[in-house]
Structure 1
Amino acid sequence: MTDEVLGTRRLSKRFKGFTAVDNVDLSVKKGHIHALIGPNGAGKTTLFNLLTRFTEPSAGEIHFNGRSVSALPPREVARRGMVRSFQISAVFASLSVLDNVRLALQRDLGMSFHFWKSDRVLNRLNDRAMALLDSVGLTGVASHAAGSLPYGQKRALELATTLAMDPVLMLLDEPTQGMGYEDVDRVTALIHQVAVGRTVLMVEHNMKVVASIADTLSVLQRGRLIASGSYQEVSTNPRVMEAYMGTAPGHGKESVA
């Protein structure tokens, strides 16, 4: 038996001579918050696109829950429990906060692609939707238009709609991007809270966030995986220090933080 939820073997993506992801062997363990970090242009978002099958790999394998998903369409990967959020906030702005979550919950009624249902049908989902909103601190704005929420609350709503899909693995792409300090702290705490009993793989630039909640870090540089381990192990790794700061091993600062 293995506790690996997601694994890649020599996963690669080439674009007309440019290699964005280069022979990456990634292993994400069940119940962990796993952070994927690296300088700008390291290939993090391309790797996310490969994992969720939005981009076709040039070579390599992707295994999820012990089965290959390398040739599956994105909708089937999501149906199996690998659910992704994106860098840009994505909510139905004109719908209420509650309705956004109820729509995400429609899969439980076997009507995932029937976006517009009567209130009578959707009201069956109210209790679960409100419980999800409570888990991210949004019950007080359930009736508000999602588009009227401040940015931090929109990201919290995205967490609720992601949770509504009952994910085995949550992939969060830059969940604190563009936030002020207060929102960063709040969303970080929410991620830590909703990750209980789940597995999370997140791309994140904020090292304070990573240090506070990640069990494991993997570092990409120019498409290659150069280090994996705990924050302490990775932050003092000479190759990581050089990738982030151009510091030669054995010189300069002792941490990426």
Structure 2
Amino acid sequence: MTNNVILETKRLTKEFKGFTAVNAVDLQVQRGHIHALIGPNGAGKTTCFNLLTKFLVPTSGQILFNGQDITSARPAQIARQGIIRSFQISAVFPHMTVLENVRIGLQRALGTSFHFWKSHHSLNRLNERAMELLAQVDLTEFAATVTVDLPYGRKRALEIATTLAMEPEMMLLDEPTQGMGHEDVHRVTELIKKVSAGRTILMVEHNMSVISGICDKISVLQRGAMLAEGTYAEVSQNPKVMEAYMGSTEGELQGAHA
């Protein structure tokens, strides 16, 4: 594994009672890249994500992060090493303000997330950093808004802010634009580009226009196995990929949804 590879899997496999959901996947994510994991429904993308973030235990294979074997690590251990996952369903506290949500992320990073007996005012020292993070995701004006009242796209932006609060070296984004209208998709896409500076992003995403616009490399899964890898231009013209998505080699991947 070279220094330019931040995350690598070697023949990563997950079986469920005889069904192979992820089959001997070799994946290399380059440091500083935005890397997409795509594939038709049932391809094994989410299972692969769950293996990488340790919410599932591999049946066999190996996962390396910065050259260290994390195959047997627990979720909290890899979070401390700098791998932070943003969940498909917006993982925020709906009845807290936007600022309070980010502050909780900062508490987690400090290892004080369960010190609920502390004075509320003792947490105000985190406000300055929380406001910096909100500025990064264009949510400054919503700092005092109760999260349940945020538009859907803004909730996803808040989720990215709470992920950034954990100081990730690598962010794993699970369907960051799912269920969004065009305006929110554009906003969140630009946000992902913005926060990718100085860090690595691995994302599962269905929207091909998003992937074509921001991803350096794409890995395509089909039936749990690696089907193809490359740039969007390379992958979108790959006959195997077009057949997997479209049912034939005619037409293009452009606009297809996994």
TM-score range, shorter chain: over 0.9
How much has 1:79 moved relative to structure 2?
1.1
Measure, in 2, the Cα distance between the counterparts of 1:220 and 1:189.
26
2:100 matched residue in structure 1: 99
1:253 matched residue in structure 2: 251
TM-score normalised to structure 2 length: 0.96
Measure, in 1, the Cα distance between the counterparts of 2:159 and 2:95.
15
Contact 1:241/1:256, CA 8 A, preserved across alignment? no
Contact 2:86/2:163, CA 8 A, preserved across alignment? yes
How much has 1:108 moved relative to structure 2?
4.5
Evaluate the alpha carbon distance shift between residue 15 and residue 196 of structure 1 in structure 2; reply closer, same or farther with a 3 A threshold. Answer: same
- The structure 1 segments of at least 4 consecutive aligned residues displaced by more than 6 Å after TM superposition are none
Measure, in 2, the Cα distance between the counterparts of 1:236 and 1:158.
34
1:180 matched residue in structure 2: 181
Contact 1:31/1:196, CA 8 A, preserved across alignment? yes
1:51 matched residue in structure 2: 52
1:9 matched residue in structure 2: 10
The answer as to 2:198 corresponding to 1:197 is yes
Show structure 1 runs of 5+ residues with no match: none
Evaluate the alpha carbon distance shift between residue 49 and residue 145 of structure 1 in structure 2; reply closer, same or farther with a 3 A threshold. Answer: same
The total of aligned residue pairs comes to: 254
How much has 1:116 moved relative to structure 2?
5.8
Opposite residue 233 of structure 1, the aligned amino acid is E
Opposite residue 203 of structure 1, the aligned amino acid is V
Alignment RMSD: 1.2
Measure, in 1, the Cα distance between the counterparts of 2:117 and 2:153.
27
Show structure 2 runs of 5+ residues with no match: none
Contact 1:244/1:256, CA 8 A, preserved across alignment? no
2:145 matched residue in structure 1: 144
Give SS of 1:201's match: strand
Evaluate the alpha carbon distance shift between residue 32 and residue 115 of structure 1 in structure 2; reply closer, same or farther with a 3 A threshold. Answer: farther
Opposite residue 240 of structure 1, the aligned amino acid is V
Measure, in 2, the Cα distance between the counterparts of 1:232 and 1:125.
44
How much has 1:112 moved relative to structure 2?
3.6
1:24-58 CA-to-partner distances (Å, cap 9, x unmatched) read 00000100000000001100000000000100110
1:170 matched residue in structure 2: 171
Measure, in 2, the Cα distance between the counterparts of 1:116 and 1:130.
24
Measure, in 1, the Cα distance between the counterparts of 2:126 and 2:58.
38
Contact 2:209/2:254, CA 8 A, preserved across alignment? no
How much has 1:86 moved relative to structure 2?
1.1
Contact 1:103/1:115, CA 8 A, preserved across alignment? no
What's the % identity of the aligned pairs? 63
TM-score normalised to structure 1 length: 0.96
